[in-house]
A and B are shown apart, each in its own frame.
Chain A
Amino acid sequence: MFISIYSPAPVVWHLQMAQTERRDAPGLPDFFQLKRLARDQLIFLLEELPGKKDLFIDADLMSPLDRIANVTILKQHEVDKLYKVELKPIVSGSDQLCFLIRPRIKTVKWISDLVNSDKTAGRFRRYKIIFTPQKFYAYVTTDEWNFYILPLDDDILSLELPEFFRDTFLEGDQRWMTTGGGALHLLQSVYGSFSKVYGIGRCAKMVYESWRELTEEGEQRTRQPEFAKVFLIDRDVDYVTPLCSQVVYEGLVDDIFRIKCGSVEFGPDVTSSDKSIKVMLTSQDQVFSEIRNEHFSNVFGFLSQKAKNLQTAYDKRRGMDIQQMKAFVADELKGLKQEHRLLSLHIGASESIMKKKTKQDFQELLKTEHSLLEGFETRESIAYIEEHINRQVSMIDSLRLLCLLSITENGLLSKDYRSLKAQYLQSYGMDHLLTFANLRQLGLLEEQQTGETLTVMESKVGKLVNDKTVGKLTDAFSSLAKKSNFRALSKRLALVPKYGEEYDLRVPRDMAYIFSGAYVPLSCKLIEQVLERDGWTGLEEVTRMLNGQEFAVTGL
């Protein structure tokens, strides 16, 4: 059994459950404690500003906050009105303002402007800023609400930090490394220590270091661990997986409706009524929990069967006497109705997914993805991508395919890069010059570098700095010369099942089923291999192709 901690894009952490090496075995720890802890700390902070106050909340904090507290709790702690932070002048009559925000410069600037304008107007108010999950730039006098981890489901924990990826991998800013360390430290404090930590990637290493420091400062603990193992992987170790279209139910729901903070909003076409409904997608939803990981092709059959069973269960009422009916209403009816509602929603969602996917030639898109993964008929894939761009179909899909092409082929040939980029800009707007620059910086979409270009670069940069410091530039160079090595990795780890083999999606034989049998997710394969070997021994070739930075540590 795995627990994955993720933040909507960044480092993915997998925690394997405690006690045994058996993967199917033990129960999960109760993550409700994390929510309670977060809620209690929030209340503590609110009480530090006694009396009636208005609370301003960052927009992207509201959904996570909803999972922790509710309006009654806030009101109990004398929150009068709630506002969304909109970076505009405010209308509040309160004498006390409390701000619950992410550490972002523009938000802090807005608050200071606000305070200043109050001052100018001769208005006296008390203010309190609470940063979450932590304050920034070593501020001293502000508060932190250490809301590191949000349990999204029985077995999924999330940092819910959308900017993590951009800040870390694009801007090279390490401000979230300590957040990662803090989150792990929190888990350890509540659930006991871990027997083993594995990781790969620069950020994984930094997060580990930060966590280790926190642990060393803390007290020695003797509690029996509830988790056995931690696995830290940098997102950039495996870009291929998130670039592929998922074809399991949950993946498609996310693709079409966007799952945010563990919940999804189904529109009128799904609900068969005139209103939208927001639904939590967790293992508490019995229908969803049974189909979430199924390949989409199995979902229809399952739902049809469920519908029949439901009808049968309802039909039982016929011919019941009063007593039986009473018992039926008391014991079964509520459950059946709940199931009925869920079933109707998921059937509606499946239908809507099917309609949209048929319309956008999904089958051909999948075919192209699979060809790229196999490295087979690349020219035709390029022609497909080009036409996709020419027809101005989904901007994101076009970009996704371009990135997949670049990573599987170790960069695009110069003429392809220039021509595809030019056509992309023509179809979707010149502003995307900036998108291309960013993707290039990330190594997601690159032009193949000829040996010559690299030498020129090297001598150019070399001139700028003296010899002593050249060593420190190795990082910069390695990122220039960094190759994804996907083809070799795929061969070495058998990520793409052999052509022509039968693949029965109803009885999946490996992780490839989530991509219709076309590809085993690299990151998952790595975890499997490392756990099997209890370390990285024997995977030296693989780690070298992944730019190293791997580690395995016992007992923290």
Chain B
Amino acid sequence: MSRAKPEDDEYWNSSKYRAFTFEDDDDEFSRLKESKRAVNSMLVDDDEDDVEDVERVSWSGEPVESISWSVKETASSIRSGSEQGFPRIDTTPSLSKQGSGYSLSSLFKAFSESSVRAYAPELRRPRSDGKDFVSDLSLDETIRRMQKGRGFSLEKFRSLQDKLLLLDKAVSAHDGNVITAVLIYLKRSLSKEILFRELMSREVALRHYIHFLKETGEQKLLMDLLKALGRTEDMALMQYKEHLNIKDEGRRKDFLKSCLSDVRLCVLSLPFSQDDAAHVQDHYTLLERQIIIEEYDKKAVTDVFKKFPRKASILNMPIITTLYYSCFYHYGELEGTFSSPSNIRKTFRISEKQYILTALGARAKLRSWSDVDSLFNTKNWLGYTKKRSPIAFHRVVDILQKNSAPVQVLQDYVNLIDDPELKLSVALKYKCHDVIINTYRDLKDRQLLVSYRDKLEQDSPEYRKIQELLSNGQVRWKN
């Protein structure tokens, strides 16, 4: 991880992106905070306040009695068992309600004649929908009527050829509703083998059909179709998707197992892609583990469970969350145990980097700094301990800091940052005085030390440390 190489930083800071950063030390941001205080403290004396205006003014500026708001209200009143609806207003027919402006006769007057004519016929939807029903319509006319939502009949398209012409015509009209309506008719009147065969060469119609089956939940037919099309991967995924509908964990686990070795699916070679098969296998294994762990931990009474009671069950959590959980509650267990971090790490082939990140988070949360240290310690052949990490150390510092690690701990890790500039900026961000002072000392920069001292509290240990350094005649300052 070398995202913060110096030249990188220089590029980002020197070019067009300098203009603004989302860091909270921004000057303008502090100005904004001041403004907030100012605005919120401005007092207005008379208090006939109309705060509600803001909430209930519609786009056009009219006050609105919100429908969504009323619905909520209605729903809650039902829950409380009250049968009270809206207060009934007068029952006179609404047409006579002058002034409301909604009567039908006035419906279209608001618009200039020309602007209305084209649209109005649709408003005055013919009442005769059923009456102008004609059974002997041409293909084109049938499709047109379907598009308009008028009466039509498909029964006269009897031969396979007619049906297919009808379908092709529907497709060329680009109206998904008409395509699906025709497909519903074909589904009813053709054998599924013939329908599948014809759909194979009709991509658009096929996609509509698949979508229709998905929406109506005709899983069985859908699987048959995908199978006939040779789309085994889709088939496997579609089957897998079903697990989302199973609430009970035990049954869900069994179902996942069946996805991996379904008799029907096995007829075809490898329904899932190789990778996906491994993922589904992991899913199954994970749930199996979680069920076992949950069974034990529900009743667990060890210290860590007492001190940090579980907020939720571990069932159905992702692998990494499970690992975190295990690093939190089952750290140090032997690899043979299902719940141990090392077992989970091995079973799910978790990378070293991912493992360390997760364990670091969990152990830091518990403020177990010695565990944190040992995550990074490696011994070389001479027996010296050295800290190594697959994650950049400034990132480690971030994580520790977010878990409120004490300065002493932070400092150790800040010191491990390779890049001196980055090290200094991280140290400044988290106020690691020793690191800062030592860096300035090594730079022999007296002025920086003096100005840093002036920011510190007098008589604090770091203040005194600087004083000592400055009065030390041995150092040869460069300024």
- Chain B residues closer than 8 Å to A218, beta-carbon distance: 118
**Which residues of B (172-221) have their CB < 8 Å from a CB of A?**
174-181, 184, 200-204, 207-208, 210-211, 214-216
Give A511 to B61 CA distance when docked, in angstroms.
Answer: 31
Chain A 268-306 interface mask (CB, 8 Å, partner B; 1/0): 000010000111101010000000000111001101100
In chain A, what residue has the closest Cβ to B95? A47
CB within 8 A of B42: which of A136, A284, A340, A366? A340
Pair B33/A174 contact, Cβ less than 8 Å: no
**Which residues of B (150-181) have their CB < 8 Å from a CB of A?**
150-152, 174-181
Pair B102/A310 contact, Cβ less than 8 Å: no
Pair B203/A475 contact, Cβ less than 8 Å: yes
Assess whether A12 is interfacial by the CB under 8 Å rule.
no
Pair A173/B241 contact, Cβ less than 8 Å: no
**Which residues of A (484-519) have their CB < 8 Å from a CB of B?**
497, 499-505, 516-518
- Chain B residues closer than 8 Å to A136, beta-carbon distance: 177, 180
Give A421 to B275 CA distance when docked, in angstroms.
Answer: 10
CB within 8 Å for A177 and B22 given contacts A44-B104, A57-B67: no
**Which residues of A (113-153) have their CB < 8 Å from a CB of B?**
134-141, 143-144, 146, 151-153
Query: At the interface, is chain A mostly helix, strand, loop or mixed?
Result: helix
Pair A500/B71 contact, Cβ less than 8 Å: no
How many residue pairs between the two chains, A and B, have CB atoms under 8 Å in the bound complex? 373
CB within 8 A of B318: which of A50, A70, A82, A429? A429
Give A326 to B383 CA distance when docked, in angstroms.
Answer: 87
Pair A418/B60 contact, Cβ less than 8 Å: no
CB within 8 A of B180: which of A39, A175, A344, A500? A175
Give A123 to B130 CA distance when docked, in angstroms.
Answer: 27
Assess whether A482 is interfacial by the CB under 8 Å rule.
no
- Chain B residues closer than 8 Å to A544, beta-carbon distance: none
- Chain A residues closer than 8 Å to B234, beta-carbon distance: 437
CB within 8 Å for A433 and B280 given contacts A301-B31, A383-B3: yes
Give A554 to B358 CA distance when docked, in angstroms.
Answer: 61
Give A76 to B234 CA distance when docked, in angstroms.
Answer: 52
Pair B36/A347 contact, Cβ less than 8 Å: yes
Residue of B53, B100, B176 most packed against chain A (CB within 10 A): B176
Pair A70/B237 contact, Cβ less than 8 Å: no
Give A310 to B36 CA distance when docked, in angstroms.
Answer: 12
Give A70 to B125 CA distance when docked, in angstroms.
Answer: 24
Assess whether B24 is interfacial by the CB under 8 Å rule.
yes
Pair A153/B59 contact, Cβ less than 8 Å: yes
In chain B, what residue has the closest Cβ to A35? B60
Query: At the interface, is chain B mostly helix, strand, loop or mixed?
Result: helix
Pair B64/A186 contact, Cβ less than 8 Å: no
- Chain A residues closer than 8 Å to B89, beta-carbon distance: 75-76
- Range, interface on chain B: 35 or more
Chain B 97-128 interface mask (CB, 8 Å, partner A; 1/0): 10010101001001110111111001101000
Assess whether B250 is interfacial by the CB under 8 Å rule.
no
Pair B67/A74 contact, Cβ less than 8 Å: yes
22 CB < 8 A contacts A-B: A43-B102, A44-B107, A52-B88, A66-B64, A66-B68, A71-B65, A172-B203, A219-B118, A272-B40, A307-B39, A311-B42, A344-B39, A363-B23, A364-B3, A383-B1, A387-B1, A425-B282, A429-B316, A430-B283, A433-B237, A433-B276, A500-B11
Which 9 A/B pairs are nearest by Cβ-Cβ distance? A175-B176, A297-B20, A503-B16, A172-B207, A469-B201, A174-B176, A430-B283, A62-B68, A300-B28
Seen from chain B, the residues whose Cβ lies within 8 Å of a Cβ on chain A are 1-3, 8, 11-12, 15-17, 19-24, 28-29, 31-36, 38-40, 42, 44, 46, 49-51, 53-55, 57-61, 64-68, 70-71, 74-75, 78, 83, 85-86, 88-89, 91, 93-95, 97, 100, 102, 104, 107, 110-112, 114-119, 122-123, 125, 129-130, 146-147, 149-152, 174-181, 184, 200-204, 207-208, 210-211, 214-216, 229-230, 234, 237, 240-241, 244, 275-276, 279-280, 282-283, 286, 316-321, 348, 350-351, 353-354, 357-358, 391, 395
Contacts A152-B59, A350-B32, A516-B19 supplied; 11 other A-B pairs, CB < 8 Å: A65-B68, A71-B86, A80-B86, A104-B215, A175-B180, A206-B174, A300-B29, A337-B44, A341-B54, A464-B200, A472-B203
